[in-house]
Structure 1
Amino acid sequence: MSKCAFLGLGVMGFPMAGHLSRSGHDVSVWNRTARKGADWSSKFKGSVAKDAASAVFGKEFVLLCLGDDPDVEAVFDEIEPNLAAGMIVVDHTTASAGLARRLNERCQKRGASFIDAPISGGQAGAENGKLTIMCGGKDAAMAKAEPVMKAYGHRITHIGESGAGQLAKSVNQICIAGIVQGLSEGLHFAEANGLDVAKVIEAISGGAAQSWQMENRWKTMSEREFEHGFAVDWMRKDLRIALAAGNAAGASLPLTALVDQFYADVQAAGGRRWDTSSLISRLKTIEN
């Protein structure tokens, strides 16, 4: 088993680090909020480091699951002096491809390797060890890191060179944004026409309209229950990254830009921490 440092014990990182421990890896964890580390150590076998730099010292794998580009860069600045030849840094944060490429270069200067490996599957996927992981990096580093990531990853795909994993995650978020908006409008249409929504879903979920969002979110969307899942604030961060990458590549993303503004409406209505399925909340029946 491997010596691993896991930095970031949020709703995703907490169970991911737990799966590493349960798989027999030697795990050291760190979180900015010390209480999270104490809570983790009460549930799983492993050590809690006093700071990020000491967490990574002497480890084979350094795994990060943080919030945004500035968070990743700040933590990387702390751990960089303790990165040694042969170490592999795996960043599970959804961040920019540009940051991934910069950190890859900084790792190479120390003889270490870097893999950008954003995740999809939500909190349930993290807790059940069934995450989808999209990776960018060198073949040799991937071959070593994949057995470690299998502790919490169900589908692990090496997309390409550094930054490719983050770009693939943007594709994922672009597709989700369009699907959730379409599902919101479909459910809203059914309600406005007085249809039995459950029967409509039963009818259409076996055909071409089927999606993960339909299967897992139609009921809570119909009930206007959004206190779960992936927060709107985080989705807007991801779409900001996707729109910036699209602009840099000359890719037109009109629907993504529109849905991003719809999410801004949800934020303004107090739904910053609501699940992304809360797009339906901004649709109102027009009185004739």
Structure 2
Amino acid sequence: MSQNLAAFAGLGSMGRPMAANIQAKGLLAAVWNRSPGPAEAFSQAHGLPRADDPAHLARQANILVLCVSADEDVLAVVDAMLPVLGRDHVVVDCSTVRPETARRIAQMLSEVGAGFLDAPVSGGTEGAEQGSLSMMIGGRCEDLARARPILEAMAGRLVHMGPAGSGQATKAVNQVAVAGVNQAVADAMALAKSQGLDLDQVIQALSGGAADSWFLQKRAPNMRDGVYPLGFRLSLHDKDLAICQSLTEAMGVRLPIIEMTRLHYRRLIEAGHGDEDVSSLFRLKLEQLEEGEQRGGDDAEQQQ
């Protein structure tokens, strides 16, 4: 096993550029992906070994970075690695899962002496490609110190939030905020279009003012163009909001922004838009305004 190197599991739209940034720093030893095609392509492109399975991957390096889709996937990968893990290892999970899942994994790993960091990220595929992600981290300070050079290759901002589970709790907060900003920008852009405004000029007018945001600058152009290239997959945000929903329901409350956004997302997923960027919410907003305008016209005709 190579010390002070990373091995990476999960080469999707986020994981692939994150792993590439680690490799660019000369810190990546091997990769693995559940479906072998992406791992084979990455291996050939970067001249790196492709592990046969998670246990094989864990033998290649001491910092093991995971970026997979759901709680069950993370648990399955960790469980497969567990027999070969020990005090030399730190597992870093960059997936988005429930805080209790992170705490469960931390306990599993502590029993074999391995460290754990829950380190979900924000910044979309652009941030993953540029190495400028924001990373919210839960876990022990000593494990963070050991993994820091690897994390700094992927992220422009590292914030240690507290013990295991704190990173995932912070990511839940982030996902609620993203839902709210997506709703606001999509509503605003749909209203602008309904008023016959030039959407490019609207973006310019709002940028730098009180309504400015990363989302306005990065995602409103998608709405303007009616094209939704993947930054953050809508179906995955819906999965993350289900986690947020479970957290609030456990406290006996519901947050309207979560409930409304999941309702809207389900309509878009059913219409075949689940693999588009979350900014495709604009499709639904525009439909709603057009339907409202049509109903208003029909009501006016009936009153005449």
Which of the five TM-score ranges fits, normalised by the shorter chain? over 0.9
Aligned to 1:83: 85
Helix, strand or coil at the partner of 2:96: coil
| Rg larger in structure | 2
Q: 1:199, CA displacement in angstroms?
A: 1.9
Q: Would you say 1:260 and 2:258 are equivalent positions?
A: no
Q: 1:259, CA displacement in angstroms?
A: 1.0
Q: Which amino acid letter does the alignment assign opposite residue 156 of structure 1? A: L
Q: Would you say 1:104 and 2:106 are equivalent positions?
A: yes
Aligned to 1:9: 11
Q: 1:72, CA displacement in angstroms?
A: 0.6
Q: Would you say 1:29 and 2:31 are equivalent positions?
A: yes
The answer to whether the 8 Å contact 1:227/1:273 transfers is no
Q: Which amino acid letter does the alignment assign opposite residue 260 of structure 1? A: R
Helix, strand or coil at the partner of 2:243: helix
Aligned to 2:301: none
Counterpart CA distance in 2 for 1:15 and 1:199 is: 33
Counterpart CA distance in 1 for 2:249 and 2:215 is: 27
- Which is further off, 2-11 or 134-143? 2-11
Aligned with 1:92 (options 91, 94, 118)? 94
- % identical aligned pairs: 36
Q: Cα gap change, 1:63/1:9 in structure 2, threshold over 3 Å: closer, same or farther?
A: same
Aligned to 1:212: 214
Which aligned pairs between 1:230-249 and structure 2 lie closer than 5 A? 230-249=232-251
Normalised TM-score (structure 1): 0.96
Helix, strand or coil at the partner of 2:7: strand
The answer to whether the 8 Å contact 2:200/2:224 transfers is no
Unaligned runs of 5+ in 2: 298-304
Aligned to 2:199: 197
Counterpart CA distance in 2 for 1:185 and 1:24 is: 45
Counterpart CA distance in 2 for 1:157 and 1:207 is: 27
Deviations 1:246-283 (A, max 9, x none): 22245541211111111111111111111100111112
Deviations 1:160-185 (A, max 9, x none): 11101001111111001111111111
Count matched residues: 288
Q: Which amino acid letter does the alignment assign opposite residue 75 of structure 1? A: V
Counterpart CA distance in 2 for 1:9 and 1:106 is: 24
Q: 1:58, CA displacement in angstroms?
A: 5.5
Helix, strand or coil at the partner of 1:66: coil
Q: Which amino acid letter does the alignment assign opposite residue 148 of structure 2? A: E
- Which is further off, 171-180 or 1-10? 1-10
Q: 1:68, CA displacement in angstroms?
A: 0.3
Aligned to 1:282: 284
Q: 1:65, CA displacement in angstroms?
A: 0.5
Counterpart CA distance in 2 for 1:216 and 1:187 is: 13
Q: Which runs of 4+ in 1 moved over 4 A?
A: none
Q: Which amino acid letter does the alignment assign opposite residue 274 of structure 1? A: E
Q: Which amino acid letter does the alignment assign opposite residue 133 of structure 2? A: L
Q: Would you say 1:70 and 2:103 are equivalent positions?
A: no
Deviations 1:105-128 (A, max 9, x none): 011101111100001111121111
Helix, strand or coil at the partner of 2:183: helix
Counterpart CA distance in 2 for 1:200 and 1:20 is: 39
**Higher normalized helix content (fraction of residues):** 2
Helix, strand or coil at the partner of 1:270: coil
Q: Would you say 1:187 and 2:182 are equivalent positions?
A: no
Q: 1:7, CA displacement in angstroms?
A: 0.8
Q: Which amino acid letter does the alignment assign opposite residue 245 of structure 1? A: L
Counterpart CA distance in 1 for 2:68 and 2:207 is: 35
Aligned to 2:300: none
Aligned to 2:302: none
The answer to whether the 8 Å contact 1:20/1:27 transfers is no
Normalised TM-score (structure 2): 0.91
Q: 1:26, CA displacement in angstroms?
A: 4.3
Counterpart CA distance in 1 for 2:33 and 2:146 is: 25
Q: 1:222, CA displacement in angstroms?
A: 2.1
Counterpart CA distance in 1 for 2:192 and 2:90 is: 50
Aligned with 1:150 (options 148, 152, 169)? 152
Deviations 1:213-268 (A, max 9, x none): 11011121122212322111101101001111222245541211111111111111
